[in-house]
Amino acid sequence: MEEEKKAKNPFIYDLVSIVSTAVVIVTFVFLFFFRTVGVSGTSMFPTLNNGDRIILSAFVTEPHYGDIVVTCQPADNVNMEETLVKRVIATEGQTVDIDFDKGIVYVDGKALDEPYVNELTYTREDFRGPKTVPEGHVFVMGDNRNASTDSRDLRVGYIREDYLLGKALFRVMPFGNWRIG
């Protein structure tokens, strides 16, 4: 009897040690390298849905066209208690123009191939183009173009790169639907 108690104690100690070490490592990784963010609203439909959770790289070294990014940039009259999840359309020095009659977005005079959008871009918001993206900024738009508050709206405008929280890597919820694009 006495020997059975001694044999169980090292197992319990090892189990507690392994679990606590794993918790510390996961906490460290998510604190410094990755973040999770919930998607709120329909502005990124059909790519992301309301309630989805995504994993972000905590580092955005250089945003590129097509990256899905999360920003916390303060803006006038826009509820920024929540983060904005948007797609990078243009980076510093690039010129954006939108033909609202045809619904086509142009960057540096070339029409973008945007298979990810819900529908073509017919909603103008405050956009009067063409506009050149200033240094250290990006121009972002939601994939659900006609239901998105994004860089076309003066309240949001260009996003400063230092306000980008991260680049979306993959979706963790709903389970089984990991890919985002």
Do 51 and 134 fall into the same domain? yes
Do 14 and 83 fall into the same domain? no
Do 24 and 73 fall into the same domain? no
CB 87 within 8 A of CB 140: yes
Task: Give the pLDDT of residue 29.
Answer: 61
Q: Is 86 one of the annotated active-site residues of the chain? A: yes
Do 27 and 87 fall into the same domain? no
In a domain, 159, yes or no: yes
Q: Is 57 one of the annotated active-site residues of the chain? A: no
Rounded to two decimals, the pTM is 0.77
* pLDDT tens per residue, range 26-46: 666 655 666 778 888 899 999
Task: Name the least confident of 45-54, 66-75, 87-96.
Answer: 66-75
CATH of residue 144's domain is 2.10.109.10
Catalytic residue among 17, 20, 57, 86: 86
Catalytic residue among 43, 131, 148, 167: 43
Look up the domain containing 15 and give its range.
1-32
| Location of structure tokens 């502005």 | 43
HEC secondary structure over 139-169: EEECCCHHHCCCCCCCCCCCEEHHHEEEEEE
Tally of domains within the chain: 2
In a domain, 119, yes or no: yes
Do 43 and 102 fall into the same domain? yes
Q: How many CB atoms lie within 10 A of CB 112?
A: 17
Do 8 and 70 fall into the same domain? no
* pLDDT tens per residue, range 103-115: 999 999 999 999 9
With a cut of 60, say whether residue 7 has pLDDT above it: no
With a cut of 70, say whether residue 117 has pLDDT above it: yes
